Amino acid sequence: MKRVNYLTFLIFLCIFSYFMMINTSMTAIAEDNQNYYKFSQDKIIKSIIHDYRDSFIREKELIRYTEELTGLDYEHCRFLIKESKEKYIDPFIVLGLIKRESDFNPKAKGVGGELGLGQLMENTAQIIAMNLGYSYNNEMLLDPVFNLKLTIAQLSYLNKVYDNDMHKTLTAYNRGQQGLKNYLTTCDGRGVSDYSTKVLQFASIYKEEFENLKY
């Protein structure tokens, strides 16, 4: 009887020890997983902070570059970059366009009545302003922020119409949508024009300059 009790006790002890080992192992695994998760989480947070910091620094550098390139005020340059990004337009293309249109002169007046940085026509500008919910008069086009707002909005609209085809977008900006339609019947249908080519050349030059700069 004592032998049976002793064997029962040994079996119980073995089973108890087995479950204790499993519990200890599971606890260790859980702790390892928790530590790994914490490490991964910390790594992700540090990566996000690092990327955000680099992005912020790079944006400040781009504003500074835009100031030096255009001669516009800091706030105007900051607005140009912010508005371009919000409308999914490359800011270098905007820079290329206003270089081609006005040579960065916010008070520029064209022979056909075009005004401001983006050399907007009155009839076009009125429609854009109305769609954006803004009041409008011609003199407002000489304000850099207002002109950039309308110029970038028009670029964004045309870029959507022409499925991100920047040559067609820029040619339509220059000639109007009907003008582009007429132009497409006289060329290879790709919408490449002297105007779009020049704007994109400027954009490429400015982008390369900026990427090679070290402030």
Instruction: Note down pLDDT in tens along the chain; length 215 residues.
Output: 545 455 555 555 556 555 555 555 556 565 555 655 554 444 444 343 334 344 557 899 999 999 999 999 999 999 999 999 999 999 999 999 999 999 999 999 999 999 999 999 999 999 999 999 999 999 999 999 999 999 999 999 999 999 999 999 999 999 999 999 999 998 877 899 999 999 999 999 999 999 998 76
What is the Cα–Cα distance from 129 to 153, expressed in whole angstroms? Answer: 9
Task: Look up tokens 């950039």; give the residue.
Answer: 148
Are the C-beta atoms of 176 and 148 separated by less than 8 Å?
no
Closest CA to 117 of 137, 90, 92, 147: 147
Say which CATH class 57-212 falls into: mainly alpha
pLDDT score, position 205: 97
- Predicted TM-score (pTM) of this structure: 0.76
pLDDT score, position 28: 55
Q: Which residue type, as a one-letter code, is found at position 192?
A: V
pLDDT score, position 18: 55
pLDDT score, position 188: 77
Are the C-beta atoms of 195 and 170 separated by less than 8 Å?
yes
Phi, psi of 109 (to 5 degrees): -130, 120
pLDDT score, position 214: 76
Buried/exposed 167-182: b ≥16 CB within 10 Å, e otherwise: bbbbbbbbbbeeebee
* Structural domain spans, the chain: 57-212
The β-bridge partners of 115 are 109, 120
pLDDT score, position 40: 46
